Structure 1
Amino acid sequence: MTSRYRSIVDVYVLLRRADGRILLMERANTGYADGQLCPPSGHLEAGESVIAGAIREAAEEVGVELSEAALDFVHVVHHRNGNEEARIGFFFLADNWRGQPINREPHKCAQLLWADPTDPPANTVPYTAAALAQITKQQPFSLDGWGL
């Protein structure tokens, strides 16, 4: 009998300013992709919906308050990187939030910066950069790292 497939679920929040730039965080001291950029994001916790996870991660990492209505689903990617476990990432766009984004996790984040999502910095996490490219094309789904 084969075992049931399970995957890590990631949630990403693309906080977009009026000028179209999105907020990115420089990872530090995490052991994964340190020195690279990604939006506020994280793994789902047990019993948590992707919406609740996105709202929680934005509050924990950059101190902004989001409502469910403020989040627009824009993309899902099924990602695999070498021998690592595959993961499914849900990307949500938010143009409205309460509070000013700040670095609430300086032990895991070196800095915050606003970037053009159509031309992200070279040190953006490849998984995130691939998803941003698909979002720019208004593609709601992609595969990344599956060798197709």
Structure 2
Amino acid sequence: MTVEKYRVLVGVHLVLVDGQGRVLLGRRLNTGFGDGLFHVPAGHLEAGESAVAGLIREAREEVGIEIAARDVEFAHVLHSDERVQMFFTVRRWTGPVTNCEPEKCSELGWFEPARLPDEIVGYCRVGIGKVMAGQPFSECGWEPARG
């Protein structure tokens, strides 16, 4: 019997933390997923791209900042259906945070992790909570394992 190999999309998520401990969120617009809801800057890896390289690229494309690879810290992996969502924290960057994709993001804002807006993508809320709690792994959207 041949078993089909599991294929998964990998998302990289930037938990950008300012000097006051707040995280940056953008309100999604015209993306086809979670429009009107807040989410951290994020995107899918491109073919042949490492997780850190993808995160640095997304940060540049979405919020106009430069991040050095040495300043990227792994924080959490959330496995959700056919996706693996990797969360990384960054506390140091260069350049001002700017909404570089106004056609996909209607606003940016800084939020205290304990007081995230109600209008946030569900798995993003879970991921930020796990990051702040120092938990490196979680699953979301799966039926409980039996056994």
The TM-score, its normalising length taken from structure 1, stands at 0.94
Deviation at 1:95, TM superposition (A): 0.5
Among candidates 104, 113, 124, match of residue 120 of structure 2: 124
* Residue in structure 2 matched with residue 28 of structure 1 by the alignment: 29
Q: Which runs of 5+ in 1 are unaligned?
A: 81-85
Task: State, as a whole percentage, how many aligned pairs show the same letter.
Answer: 43
Deviation at 1:136, TM superposition (A): 2.1
**Any idea what SS the aligned residue of 2:113 has?**
coil
**Any idea what SS the aligned residue of 1:19 has?**
coil
Among candidates 108, 127, 136, match of residue 132 of structure 2: 136
* Residue in structure 2 matched with residue 60 of structure 1 by the alignment: 61
Residue-by-residue CA offset, 1:25-52 (whole Å, 9 max, x unaligned): 1000111100001111000000000000
Deviation at 1:147, TM superposition (A): 2.5
Q: Which runs of 5+ in 2 are unaligned?
A: none
* 2:10 is aligned with 1:9: yes
**Any idea what SS the aligned residue of 2:103 has?**
coil
> Matched residues in 1 for 2:143 and 2:130: separation?
17
* Residue in structure 2 matched with residue 92 of structure 1 by the alignment: 88
**Any idea what SS the aligned residue of 2:143 has?**
coil
Please tell me the root mean square deviation across aligned C-alpha atoms, in Å. 0.8
* Residue in structure 2 matched with residue 102 of structure 1 by the alignment: 98
Deviation at 1:116, TM superposition (A): 1.1
Deviation at 1:119, TM superposition (A): 2.6
Deviation at 1:120, TM superposition (A): 1.3
CA contact (8 A) 1:118 1:132 kept: no
CA contact (8 A) 1:26 1:37 kept: yes
